[in-house]
Amino acid sequence: MATANIAALMEEQAALRPHQRAVVFPAGRDRAGRVAWTQLSFAQLDALTDRYAWGLRERGVAQGDRVSLLVKPCLEFIPLVFAVFKVGAHPVLIDPGMGREQFLACLTRMKPTVLIAEPVVHVLKHVFRAPFRGIKLAVSAGTWGGLTLAELEAHGKGPFPTVQVAEDDEAAVLFTSGSTGPAKGVTYTHGIFSAQARFIRDLYDIQPGEVDLACFPLFGLFSMAIGMTVVIPDMDPTKPAQADPRKLVEAIVDHGCTSGAGSPAIWKNLGRHCTAQGIRLPSLKRLLMFGAPIPVWMHEQFQQIFPEGGQIHTPYGATESLPVASIGTHEVLADTHARTRAGAGTCVGHHLDALAVRIIAIRDEPIPTWDPALELPAGQVGEITVRGPIVTPEYKDLPEETAKAKLRETLSDGRVVVVHRMGDLGYLDDRGRLWFCGRKSHRISLKDGRVVFPDPIEGVFNEHPDVYRTGVVGVNGRAVLCVELEPGCARPREQVTAELLALGAAHDASREVRDVLYHPAFPVDVRHNAKIHRLQLRDWAAGQLGEPVEHRPLGEV
């Protein structure tokens, strides 16, 4: 009988292309300084997954157990994840870069019974005992702290009988980054994982045999499941802004990577390096960038690096619902950028056909059930909502947070489904494209009672050639523009300020800005190093202006 277990996708790829490389990982350098790569074919990956699954089963790991996976990207990471799926356990993936306090709080809520982690986490287990109290099996990705990966392998058992599950059965818990509030565990089902893999494949016309540079480890799981070779680059995924562009170029050239996925912070460095060195990357068809809006200069820059037809694509979504929509370089440069620079916000493209994307009036309180009267007409800014097969059902063990973000809708056939409130503000244009205007919690209430949104304002000011990025925050009823200048900009700030204010005065969206402040380096999230920590930026701006921060109900953050 066929199973909905996501591990079946990996088994299917192993049967279709057993000798194709599945995962490639840098294993040091030779005496000439060249990278030595180690790899697993799909057949080898499947066999290693089976051995890990047998090892977990022999040591008492059962269906429904929560497995905290805290392993750095490596050759064994993907087999470990799929081994956990095969036994019917639920991997819990917490971003260790969120900071020790948040990390331990997340671990305490999840109560895992199995820990597969780097040695440093096993040290934490002995120092902070409470979050790890329920651990019955500890596995170390190194040589200290628990059973080693080599010891976990069970040899000679043959194929592991993948546990039968239904599409709606829980598969994993993935944590949000914590960049816009406390990190929350999001429940994923096997059906959601399968739908995501299918949608990503179809949306970007990805063909089996392509090669993916997986700068964001979780995307590597989807890539492998749709028949791509996954190349894990030599970088720390918890610090994407620090990725060495020379090593990324090396990986792309060595393996003929056709695709790449990760934070804009990674590709900004890569683009600048390639431009400075005159490097073109003729194998690349696409780069997927997510986590923050992409400036138009990056679209323009990569047109000189890609082969003809290559594009940056910006999938829009969140941990709770991904992908929702997407747009590529060609449409941005030909059409939407002119509107963005005039204050229309950031176009994130057409939503997927399988989804219902609707805009509702801005409300902060929970909405239990869907009402057609909630929906706003095209062109009107409100909260973005999504219904469809990639919408997650809940925040794990957080019923109050779930109530704030989810509502139920009864369809014409009687089925009751979940609608997710993205927490983002935007609108649909007359062509059905979705435009992003900022987070709901970042909207700014002016002294006269009007409400403005940061992204459309920032789209105007980001056009200034000396501006690296901007962040608009609310300080006691004022929209304050915070500016991070391009590295090396030595022009007098008074002159830049005058130019910015003149630029803002030319557009309705940005005329409210009267205050301009210069920040040396914006505080950003740990996952993508691209999302601005606006609460910290707001507090900094208030201090620069010498004003106490008035905490208003609309959340000027």
* Residue at a domain's end among 216, 231, 246: 231
**Average pLDDT, consecutive stretches of 10 residues, N- to C-terminus, the chain (557 residues):** 89 97 94 93 97 97 97 94 98 85 92 96 93 96 92 92 97 85 92 97 96 91 96 91 95 98 93 97 96 89 97 96 97 97 97 98 97 97 98 96 97 97 98 97 94 97 95 95 95 97 96 96 83 92 86 43
Give residue 351's pLDDT.
98
Query: What are the backbone dihedrals phi and psi of residue 491, each rounded to the nearest 5 degrees, phi first?
Result: -70, 150
H helical segments located in 256-395: 264-277, 296-302, 329-331, 337-340
Domain holding 276: CATH number? 3.40.50.980
- The helix-helix angle for 42-58 and 77-86 (nearest 10°) equals 50
Structure pTM? 0.94
Judgement on whether residues 155 and 28 belong to the same structural domain of the protein: yes
The answer to whether position 322 is within a domain reads: no
Judgement on whether residues 103 and 155 belong to the same structural domain of the protein: yes
Measured CA distances, 263 to 17, 153, 217, 470, 527 (Å): 30, 34, 11, 18, 8
Q: How many domains does the chain have?
A: 4
Measured CA distances, 477 to 78, 449, 553 (Å): 49, 9, 12
Tabulate helix, strand, coil % of the chain (nearest 5).
35, 25, 40
The answer to whether position 393 is within a domain reads: yes
Strand partners, 474: 479
Judgement on whether residues 301 and 186 belong to the same structural domain of the protein: no
Judgement on whether residues 308 and 357 belong to the same structural domain of the protein: no
In a 3-state reduction of DSSP, which class is residue 361?
coil
Give residue 551's pLDDT.
54
The answer to whether position 71 is within a domain reads: yes
The answer to whether position 385 is within a domain reads: yes
* Residue at a domain's end among 435, 452, 480: 435
How far apart are the C-alpha atoms of 439 and 423, rounded to whole Å? 6
Domain holding 415: CATH number? 2.30.38.10
Q: Please say whether the beta carbons of 452 and 458 come within 8 A.
A: no
Judgement on whether residues 345 and 461 belong to the same structural domain of the protein: no
Judgement on whether residues 343 and 306 belong to the same structural domain of the protein: no
The answer to whether position 308 is within a domain reads: yes
Structural domain of residue 166, as residue ranges?
7-231
Provide the residue type at 296 as one letter: V
The answer to whether position 318 is within a domain reads: no
Domain holding 521: CATH number? 3.30.300.30
Six-digit token pair at 343? 């204050």
Judgement on whether residues 166 and 87 belong to the same structural domain of the protein: yes
Domain holding 38: CATH number? 3.40.50.12780
The answer to whether position 1 is within a domain reads: no
Judgement on whether residues 189 and 50 belong to the same structural domain of the protein: yes
Judgement on whether residues 277 and 210 belong to the same structural domain of the protein: no
Judgement on whether residues 122 and 159 belong to the same structural domain of the protein: yes
The answer to whether position 257 is within a domain reads: yes
Judgement on whether residues 427 and 456 belong to the same structural domain of the protein: no
Strand partners, 40: 23
Which residues lie below 8 Å from residue 191, measured CB to CB, with a gap of 6+?
A: 4, 166, 167, 168, 389
How far apart are the C-alpha atoms of 391 and 189, rounded to whole Å? 10
Judgement on whether residues 189 and 298 belong to the same structural domain of the protein: no
